[in-house]
Structure 1
Amino acid sequence: MMNYTMGKGNFTNWIVSEVEFSPDTLGKCESIMYLGNGYLGLRSATEEAYLKETRDLFVSGTFNKFDENEVTELPNLADVTRLDIRIDGERFSLEFGETEDYVRQLNLKTAELTRTFTWTSPKGKTVRFHFRRFVSLENLHLIGMKMDVESVTHPVTISFDSGINAQMSNTGAQHFHEGERRIFDKRFVQLVQTTTQSKIDMVLNTAHKVMVNGVEVSEPVMNMDRRKVWLNFQANLEPGDKLEMEKVTTVYTSRDKEFDTPDYDLGQLRETSLEDLRTSFEKGYQFLLEEHQDAWNRKVWNAYNLEVNSKDSFDVLALRFAMYHLTIMTPAHDERMGIGAKALSGEGYKGHSFWDTEIFILPFFMYSNPEVAKSLLKYRYLGLVGARKKAAENGYEGAMYPWEAAWPTDGEVTPVWGAVDIVTGEQTKIWSGFIEQHITADIANAVHQYYTITGDQEFMDEYGYEMIFDTATFWASRLEWNEDKQEYQINQVVGPDEYKEHVDNNAFTNYMAHHNMQLAIRYADALKQENPERYKALNNDLNLDAAYKNWQSKSDKLYLPQPREEDLVIPQDDTYLQLKEIDLTKYKNQEKVGSLFNEYNLEQVNQMQITKQADVVILQLLLEQSFSKEVKKANFNYYEPRTLHDSSLSLSTHAILANDLGEEDLAYSLFKRATEIDLGPAKFSSDHGVHAASIGGIWMSAVLGFAGVRVLDGKLRINPKLPKHWDDMKFTIYWKGQPVTLTITQSSLTVKAENYEIFAFETFGNTYECKDQLEIKINS
């Protein structure tokens, strides 16, 4: 059972709590309370083991292919969090005995996980436990753990095993060769493991300090087994005695930038990682925790400065939850790495990156931390190698980005086969990797958005132009000429609505492809004038003169589905509006996503007016300048009742558009539903990991939606429309490199240029210039 009201004082609306233990619903808290720093992701499994647990530790970018017939994935490293605890020689478990005052909490502000309870054994002996854990934001390689155990009523003998356990897998797939294990000075434990295919070395080191009433326990018993090394500690506790255990772990890999060099040496990696452990261990848990907390304040909470005063305090916690997870899911330290659809919280989607990053996560960083946004876009630039390979393999030119990406040069890594077909009993083929192609235009649009918001010319010169030009070249080669209609079309695709496969002229895909080619034309024109030397260099590499003619002639003749005269509805694709309709009420009110497929298979759903997620609706958000308010309203009203929101990406998009259209109550209810995808009462919705894009969508709903911050035709627009019960909202964004603080109430907008650099913005049709601070009255 979850509780979000336990934070008091300085921690009000900062605490995510579980107040009742259940061995059957472990996945939810393991995921939503996971710890990380963008380099490491540690799933928050309990210290003691349970049958239905999932223990995961990931390092960004360390992809491996278990077998040639498998798909590359982030491997699950050795486990360092499990403690096999025995009380009077019997295994400790909350499935036995009596448990009182159970609370597990993630403090979003300090990024520390705690768990406290009082346990009475089957023999009637009462013991109090307190566990603490963090993954450092100050030292990306560091994990800290602490356990306090106090005997309350009787003398007890406590013993526990703790070390490094490499007997782990990814749901059965073993990604590592067995490596060397060592114990130095009867304290410092080291284990090396190497991935089977990508040959990445991982070095894990750990050390313990165990005290009883302030006196260190004598030497532990040392043990080794296959893929496992550990220490056994034992102590006798009288009533009132307290055992304290601190465990510090460091994780390093040969993929780390400082070691991924031609002269790489495993011995140096082992020595460096072990020295870091020795130094960190001397500092102790509390000192390391304080360094970590200071990093969170400095890099996150004081930097992003987001405050909301809402009559529903859950809104405040949900936004903090979003910023916490956006921080820990993002490999800000290394531009060679992207963000997985399940972040670093679970094995879902194998750690692969999707369009989720560009559409739902990048906006947060573009406005809040442009350097991180740049790193994520450089990941896509490095992915041009794989994108060009995919284009060539499919008979196209330019760069065709993979639907699922892992290591940037890997190319397409989408699995070919998925879940069982409810009708045929066979595996369902996953067509996304073959024909869901809009991601190419999504990435180009993200480059354009980044440049518009930041003005980062160096990025464009070094990376951005090339990405936009070569993706436009792909689309020009992808278009198909329809002789009868004298137009270009894009046939046999999957759009954002993945319940419609092999459709022709998906509106989202066609419009975004057209936008991609138009961007290329616009940037090529500008580059010729402003930097002819750079244009010349790119022309030599990409044959831009010929490509330009193609973009121009083909984009002008690309079919863009138009609003119908009778109702202004834009056809999602060539056949959608002719498909049969069914009553979707029970599926709209479903308790579990995908209940539709208990009764229909995908082929049948393909023949119905049922949409998985925002398709035409998200197009009208991304290219809002292309559609009138009347067209937006007509399409929202048509497609939303037909959309099941079976993708977690969908609700936030609809929330933003509903707010734009004056449907404030609906907008807020959709925002609430988005916040509850991970934080809500559903017990199993997050078992495979958090929903990274939806988490980005929570921030988008608040800042792009309720605060109305958008870029329109290259200009900053701020059209606030707060929910009725939000008194005010404050946050800092970056515009052209300058931090700008916005304070919004029901009746006013205050804009502050933190560097006193003059800039222009638009609010409700009026243009303003601000060089220090400006207050504007708005309609309530």
Structure 2
Amino acid sequence: MNQDYIKPNEWSIIEEGFNSEKVKSSESLFSIGNGAMGQRANFEETYTGPTFQGSYIAGVYYPDKTRVGWWKNGYPEYFAKVLNAPNWIGINVLINGDKLDLHSCKEVSKFKRELNMQEGWLSRSFEAVLLNNVKIKVDTKRFLSLELDEVGAISYNVTPLNSAVKITYIPYIDAGITNEDTNWDDQFWDVLNVSQNNQQSFIEARTMKTHFYTCTFMESRLFIDNDEVITGCNNEQTTNFISCNYQQEIKQNQTFTIHKFGGYVVDRNHKKEALVAAAKETLDKAVSFGFDALLEMQKQSWAKIWKMSDISIEGDVKAQQGIRFNIFQLNQTYLGTDASLNIGPKGFTGEKYGGSTYWDTEAYCIPFYMATKDQSVARTLLEYRYEHLEKAIENAAKLGFTNGAALYPMVTMNGEECHNEWEITFEEIHRNGAIAFAIFNYYRFTEDYSYIPEKGLEVLIGIARFWQQRATFSSDKEKFMILGVTGPNEYENNINNNWYTNYIAKWCINYALENIDIVKNDHISDYIRIKEKVNFSDEELKAMKNVADNMYFPYSEKHNIFLQQDGFLDKELITVANLDKSQRPINQKWSWDRILRSPYIKQADTLQGFYMFENDFSTEELERHFDFYEPFTVHESSLSPCVHSIQAAKLGRMEQAYEFYLRTSRLDLDDYNHEVEEGLHTTSMAGTWMSIVEGFGGMRVLNNTLSFSPKIPKEWSSYSFKVNFRQQVITVNVNQNGANFELEGNKEINILVNGESVKVLPNNLLTV
């Protein structure tokens, strides 16, 4: 049974009624971020019930020593942990000396929490009867500023309803925090200094080992019925904690408000010896604006983001809420302003999966950022991998590869591999292919070739060298094999000749060779520089070509399909439809041994290949493979339903496409995998965008031309989206009768609609 307590709403995530069993799930779902930092939706006041406290700073991590049963050569020495940072949101609230705590109140009523995605803020309101029988009303609102991205702001309001009371606000910052996810229960933070300057408080701390220097800060302002109260505060501090104590006698029905400003400055952006000065300057600016003006700026910042990235759906509130939630969380996680950052699989919503970068970025996220932002944002994501090329070569060398072969990590913060499950670290090597595919995808969409001679070709050569060395020649079959791998379907480990891995290896080698020729012919100075730097020879290129030309692909003549890998048909082929629902999800109900022997697919590798390289295959071939593999797919990877939705739409199976769309768009909102309290599936959210734009909208780049094959689910009356294609913004609106195309700017564009070439004129509605 999936959860269903989130109220359907086009622009907001809303929870009504307080349920302590849903607190941790809601802390994930209502998370907020601004690209530079983020936090789970923890309560500001004390809460003694089950909770997962989490605040995170982009790019700040800890190398938690690997914990394994026995060591294997090539194992990463650490698993990079997203770090729970010092907590700045805390405000203890005392009413006549009794602490407000929803876990111990006599009664909680009218509880409502709202994440307003259109304007970028989180609010909460409730009435509570405390143990001392005082009844209060509480209203809170908070946001992390996009404009001043080191700052967050909280407005916390208490109104006594049945008597006059003494209210004490104790805003604090606390560096005595721990990680939910840790291997050895290490202490991750070293607190250097705790200080106060008038109303401003600061905690300077650095991470152990990695030595990121940070300063967490806060300052507060107080109001009674909107009139500011000028008051001093009693300061209390320990070695890792600082608070201010404000007391006020408040009449019945009067509202006592605290505006708290807090956040982080980091030595990634400031000199480490000047962090307190930077924090003071940041606070001065935030407080001078004030809460209301900062909130107005927040609304304007989000309006700009939504103007380009919104997808509007008419006639289906749950579908609309789902896609906006996904787009909102992607923009909260990454905005492309810092080239050293990337898109973590949990964003700023939890600690599972550790590192900040998986292959998800290249395979799923780049299309979203290319089409909804300026192409420079996607190029920045490509450059991130170029900056890590030397580390990728080191990673491959640790596994015995030579001559500049590059293996990009499965999980990384700084380019080093830090994933320590052997069947993934050593075997899930298909990730290398996604890095190369992203370079191809970027050029196909933007027509900006400059990245390849400047940086990308070196990456492509390193990846091609890896595939050539990883392949094994079978004298029995007279073909090259890739043995001992795990494909995207992680429910099959240590298998031979995973079709997707073999196919992407062949493609990577051919794509590298093709671009060596282009750069040699058209960018000779770059070619000379690169050849000198990476030192390749004609003999080496011939050897690469030999591997690509003679790659083995397992195939079933009986079913007329490519097999996921050698031996797939040896399994007991019982479809998911015949699997008892009480056994789902199998990753929580079954032993790993049983999963590995089963035919059940976490995500269909073969269909992933048909998605990425669809021009290599006919629609009939896709249909055969879809019909064979989909019935065995349990979709227990967040990356799975979106690809199936796109392919079902291509095959005209709109009911199935719609069902998969709902699953990908509401994966977290409806908690399909029963794990949302650990955090959201941020990177797969880009797949939800793809399922509408590429699935229902049918967007492709064919023969260097933007192409659409619009379809619409019967549940919708219309939907619309925008794409920024080569600096031209096209709005696509699809309804049950046809599709409209509108072009911003002053230059016409030719597009394909259902295979027919049509001309779109600027600011002129074209109906097809």
Normalised-by-shorter TM-score class: over 0.9
Q: 1:436-477 CA deviation, whole Å, 9 max, x = no partner?
A: 000101110011101110122332232222222221121112
Match of 1:356 in 2: 360
Post-superposition shift, 1:647? 0.8
Partner amino acid, structure 2, of 1:438 = H
**Is 2:161 aligned against 1:161?**
no
Post-superposition shift, 1:766? 2.4
**Is 2:272 aligned against 1:266?**
yes
Secondary structure at the residue paired with 1:167?
coil
2: CA distance, partners of 1:451 / 1:771: 25
**Is 2:490 aligned against 1:498?**
yes
Asked if the contact 2:322/2:662 (under 8 Å) is kept, the reply is: no
1: CA distance, partners of 2:87 / 2:601: 41
- Match for residue 606 of structure 1 among 596, 614, 619: 596
Of stretches 680-689 and 56-65 in structure 1, the one that deviates more from structure 2 is 680-689
- Match for residue 21 of structure 1 among 18, 22, 33: 18
Match of 1:208 in 2: 220
User: Compared with structure 1, are the counterparts of its residues 273 and 586 closer, same or farther at alpha carbon in structure 2 (3 Å cutoff)?
Assistant: farther
Which 5+ residue runs of structure 1 have no aligned equivalent? 8-12, 260-264, 417-429
**Is 2:749 aligned against 1:734?**
no
**Is 2:302 aligned against 1:302?**
no
Larger RCO (CA within 8 A; separation ≥ 6): 2
Post-superposition shift, 1:340? 0.9
Secondary structure at the residue paired with 1:553?
helix
2: CA distance, partners of 1:630 / 1:588: 32
Post-superposition shift, 1:128? 0.6
- Match for residue 141 of structure 1 among 145, 150, 158: 150
Partner amino acid, structure 2, of 1:115 = R
Of stretches 660-669 and 516-525 in structure 1, the one that deviates more from structure 2 is 516-525
Secondary structure at the residue paired with 2:666?
helix
1: CA distance, partners of 2:602 / 2:672: 19
User: Compared with structure 1, are the counterparts of its residues 469 and 682 closer, same or farther at alpha carbon in structure 2 (3 Å cutoff)?
Assistant: closer
2: CA distance, partners of 1:580 / 1:705: 32
- Match for residue 224 of structure 1 among 225, 237, 255: 237
Partner amino acid, structure 2, of 1:137 = L
Match of 1:645 in 2: 635
User: Compared with structure 1, are the counterparts of its residues 85 and 591 closer, same or farther at alpha carbon in structure 2 (3 Å cutoff)?
Assistant: farther
2: CA distance, partners of 1:521 / 1:770: 37
Match of 2:425 in 1: 433
Match of 1:445 in 2: 437
1: CA distance, partners of 2:672 / 2:633: 20
- Match for residue 459 of structure 2 among 458, 467, 481: 467
User: Compared with structure 1, are the counterparts of its residues 493 and 682 closer, same or farther at alpha carbon in structure 2 (3 Å cutoff)?
Assistant: closer
Post-superposition shift, 1:700? 1.0
Asked if the contact 1:671/1:701 (under 8 Å) is kept, the reply is: yes
User: Compared with structure 1, are the counterparts of its residues 221 and 513 closer, same or farther at alpha carbon in structure 2 (3 Å cutoff)?
Assistant: same
Asked if the contact 1:85/1:159 (under 8 Å) is kept, the reply is: yes
1: CA distance, partners of 2:15 / 2:721: 29
Asked if the contact 2:92/2:99 (under 8 Å) is kept, the reply is: yes
Q: 1:472-505 CA deviation, whole Å, 9 max, x = no partner?
A: 1211121111111111111100001101111111
Of stretches 279-288 and 737-746 in structure 1, the one that deviates more from structure 2 is 737-746
Post-superposition shift, 1:127? 0.7
- Match for residue 661 of structure 1 among 651, 655, 658: 651
Match of 2:99 in 1: 91
Q: 1:8-54 CA deviation, whole Å, 9 max, x = no partner?
A: xxxxx101111122222222211121111111111111112233211
Secondary structure at the residue paired with 1:21?
coil
Asked if the contact 1:17/1:105 (under 8 Å) is kept, the reply is: yes
Asked if the contact 2:392/2:409 (under 8 Å) is kept, the reply is: no
Match of 1:557 in 2: 550
User: Compared with structure 1, are the counterparts of its residues 99 and 683 closer, same or farther at alpha carbon in structure 2 (3 Å cutoff)?
Assistant: farther
**Is 2:399 aligned against 1:394?**
yes
Match of 2:58 in 1: 60
User: Compared with structure 1, are the counterparts of its residues 125 and 672 closer, same or farther at alpha carbon in structure 2 (3 Å cutoff)?
Assistant: same
Secondary structure at the residue paired with 1:678?
coil
1: CA distance, partners of 2:765 / 2:267: 53
2: CA distance, partners of 1:569 / 1:683: 30
Post-superposition shift, 1:727? 2.3
1: CA distance, partners of 2:495 / 2:740: 47
User: Compared with structure 1, are the counterparts of its residues 687 and 633 closer, same or farther at alpha carbon in structure 2 (3 Å cutoff)?
Assistant: same
1: CA distance, partners of 2:687 / 2:581: 21
Post-superposition shift, 1:557? 0.9
Q: 1:370-404 CA deviation, whole Å, 9 max, x = no partner?
A: 22212222111112122111111112244434443
Kindly report which structure 2 residues correspond to 1:374-773, keeping only aligned pairs within 5 A, or say none: 374-397=379-402, 398-409=404-415, 411-416=416-421, 430-546=422-538, 547-562=540-555, 564-582=556-574, 584-585=576-577, 589=581, 593=585, 595-599=586-590, 601-680=591-670, 684-712=674-702, 714-772=704-762
Percent identity, please.
25
User: Compared with structure 1, are the counterparts of its residues 387 and 681 closer, same or farther at alpha carbon in structure 2 (3 Å cutoff)?
Assistant: closer
Asked if the contact 2:114/2:122 (under 8 Å) is kept, the reply is: yes
Post-superposition shift, 1:596? 4.8
**Is 2:81 aligned against 1:73?**
yes
- Match for residue 161 of structure 2 among 126, 138, 152: 152
1: CA distance, partners of 2:455 / 2:715: 44
Post-superposition shift, 1:591? 8.7
Post-superposition shift, 1:583? 5.8
Post-superposition shift, 1:294? 1.0
1: CA distance, partners of 2:566 / 2:436: 25
Secondary structure at the residue paired with 1:471?
helix
Secondary structure at the residue paired with 2:87?
coil
Asked if the contact 1:2/1:19 (under 8 Å) is kept, the reply is: no
**Is 2:175 aligned against 1:175?**
no
Asked if the contact 1:399/1:474 (under 8 Å) is kept, the reply is: yes
Secondary structure at the residue paired with 2:562?
coil
1: CA distance, partners of 2:384 / 2:91: 38
1: CA distance, partners of 2:704 / 2:656: 29
Asked if the contact 1:64/1:72 (under 8 Å) is kept, the reply is: yes
Partner amino acid, structure 2, of 1:391 = A
TM-score (norm 1): 0.92
2: CA distance, partners of 1:710 / 1:620: 14
Asked if the contact 2:322/2:665 (under 8 Å) is kept, the reply is: yes
1: CA distance, partners of 2:192 / 2:574: 57
